[in-house]
Structure 1
Amino acid sequence: MMKLTREEKLMLDGKFGKSVKKAIEILIALGKIYNAERMVRIGSAQISGISYKNIGDAGIEFLEEFLSDAKVRVKATINPCGMDTEKWKSLKISNKFAEKQFRIINLFKKIGVGIDCSCTPYLIGNKPGFNEHIAWSESSAIVYANSVLGARTNRESGISALAAAITGRTPMYGYHLDENRRANFLINVKCKLESISDFAALGYIVGNKIGNNIPYFRGIERVDGDKLKALGASMAASGAIALYHIENITPEAKIKNML
């Protein structure tokens, strides 16, 4: 049985409204699946799955009901949507599609979510600190936050990240725990990596080989943020990697043995 704080029990009892009650119910159910003992407070959320092409009318109906009296408790941003929000007419997006897409975006805006529609939230003001617990759902952003920034997030769904934004909490399991952040694959890099494409190629190969494990890279000496972003995004795309370490470079690998 998950331990809840007094405030979390009040959420579950509906004292903060229907949306908060539904959100905490979702997170409790998720926590039970992964045997989480408690919730942890988060600093931010990043929400995917907001394209009308993906969620359709059923998704709009769900969001309208779920968010009926919601307000986010933490900084929250959303992923790219299904169209360019400024040039959609010149791109020949239909009026019907645009109307539905803006309806979705406005639902998030109404509850206090930033609507920049970016898959790199750390570049637009949603940048977590080292060891900060967050709830993000964009795969390339997750691996960057965990690895390059040293923040802590699982691979959330759009709904679980939204529930976390509404409650300010997420279940304490997975990458939120020290014991689950150690690497289990050593990658010795013997070739010279120079361009962003080199790092992307390495990431694609590693992700394809090791799936959802945690690689520890040895032999990478000089790197910048864009190259780290390409490395992580490629691993997240070809595998399901949410965390990696580079010896003497990424923050956790600088301060302790992550192998």
Structure 2
Amino acid sequence: MYLTPDEEKLLNGERGPTYQKAIEILVALGDIYDADRLIPIKSAQIAGVSYKTIGEAGLEWISDLKGKVAVPSILNPAGMDRECWMEMGIAGDFADKQDKIIRAYEALGVKTECTCTPYSIFDDLAGLGDHVAWSESSAISYANSVIGARTNREGGPSALAAALTGKTPNFGYHLDENRRPDILIQVDAELHDSDYGALGYIVGEIAGDRVPFFKLKSRPSKDELKSLGAAMAASGAVALYHVRGITPEAWKYEPPAERITIEERQIKEVYSSGTPDLIAFGCPHSSIDELERLARLLDGKEVKREVWICTSRAIKREHPLLVKRIERSGAKVFCDTCMVVSPASERFTCMMVNSGKAHKYVPNLCGVKSILATTEECIAAALRD
């Protein structure tokens, strides 16, 4: 892989060990995937934030790094709400370690808005055709598919390496030829709300790491596209998809020859029933529109079960009256974290979600039974004694 003179200097350690390690990571990736060069990126989004997932070794590694990021960079959700961690039931030792992780990233110049939906609070992180290095699976899918930016499925270390250098290897979804769709998904059903998460749950298992091209009867909102992509990234490894007439690059392509038809009965089969002791929303983090919908459903009511709604701190901070409407019901609005990456979820036995992504991850990462339901069904369960 070709390196510029400045990149060679980094590799030779002329800017210190942190930058040397960063470019070594990128060069190794480039060599593995036959990249011809490193390309500039507009932003980075960095996973590996929750102490639950990275532990003591991760904390030690991040704390040893010395330098500053070269491009706007933002963190993925942490293992707790930074302000309301006691209310979540987080232990003090965990909170201390989690705070040290976030402060170590902050020392590198990373924005500490811990969210899996950075595009909802920063308009300038990614645009059509921009190269970025994002590492959270649902954010990757949204960047590639809905925004039309270009990113591979970065790991936490490679995204941080890209942030420090402002570069990423030129391979995978950064190249035109790898953004073509591989499989046509014909959906013979009218979809709404959590149906997109259920659809994504099915298609991810079918598509694996291929690029689906959807023909839909319904016109999805951006939140529904977010839910679709998040579920496909969780049940499979889908990092890019196209929706005919909707997503910005779909017009470039003819539908692929390989075709799969998804019927309404298959989508309904993903849903389940049961009695949850936690009902959780916000995987990925809830948007303003999603919070407003939940507020309408909860207005004048009182929840009888534990209800968590996860969103970004920026949205909670900018919409205090909306948050108050929700919390009047007894539901809790948490920031900086989600039900998947927080150890607080592990004290429950059964969780009801409206997210295909959470439905896939909760049993494996939290050891908790998961029930997928519509948003209305989740609220109805929250109101029952």
TM-score bucket (shorter structure): over 0.9
Richer in strand (by share): 2
Cα distance in 2 between the residues matched to 1:141 and 1:159:
16
Cα distance in 2 between the residues matched to 1:62 and 1:188:
46
Bigger Cα displacement from structure 2, 100-109 vs 3-12: 3-12
Q: Deviations over 1:44-89 (max 9, x none)?
A: 0000111112111111111122x1x210000100111111111112
Bigger Cα displacement from structure 2, 244-253 vs 220-229: 220-229
Q: 2:132 aligns with which of 120, 134, 146?
A: 134
Q: Deviations over 1:207-254 (max 9, x none)?
A: 111211110012345221011111111111111100000112110113
Cα contact 2:181–2:253 (8 A) shared by 1? no
Cα contact 2:126–2:149 (8 A) shared by 1? yes
Equivalences for 1:139-178 in 2 at 5 Å? 139-178=137-176
Aligned to 2:208: 211
Cα distance in 2 between the residues matched to 1:42 and 1:11:
17
Equivalences for 1:1-259 in 2 at 5 Å? 2-65=1-64, 67=65, 69-125=66-122, 127-193=125-191, 195-257=192-254, 259=256
Cα contact 1:190–1:219 (8 A) shared by 2? yes
- Show structure 1 runs of 5+ residues with no match: none
- Matched AA of 2:139: A
SS at match of 1:154: coil
Cα contact 1:220–1:247 (8 A) shared by 2? no
| TM superposition score normalised by structure 1 | 0.94
SS at match of 1:14: coil
> Segments of 4+ in structure 1 off by > 6 A?
none
Q: Deviations over 1:116-173 (max 9, x none)?
A: 1101111121630001000011000000100000000000000000000000011111
Cα contact 1:133–1:151 (8 A) shared by 2? yes
Q: CA 1:154–1:258 in 2, change beyond 3 Å: closer, same or farther?
A: farther
- Deviation at 1:16? 2.2
- Show structure 2 runs of 5+ residues with no match: 257-385
Bigger Cα displacement from structure 2, 12-21 vs 41-50: 12-21
Cα distance in 2 between the residues matched to 1:6 and 1:257:
42
SS at match of 1:196: coil
Bigger Cα displacement from structure 2, 87-96 vs 231-240: 87-96
SS at match of 2:86: coil
- Deviation at 1:39? 0.6
Percent identical among aligned pairs is 55
Cα distance in 2 between the residues matched to 1:244 and 1:84:
32
Q: Deviations over 1:79-101 (max 9, x none)?
A: 11111111112333222111111
Cα distance in 2 between the residues matched to 1:46 and 1:62:
18
| TM superposition score normalised by structure 2 | 0.64
Q: Bigger relative contact order, structure 1 or 2, given CA contacts below 8 A and separation 6+?
A: 1
Cα contact 2:42–2:125 (8 A) shared by 1? no
Bigger-Rg structure (1/2): 2
Cα distance in 2 between the residues matched to 1:77 and 1:64:
17
SS at match of 1:189: strand
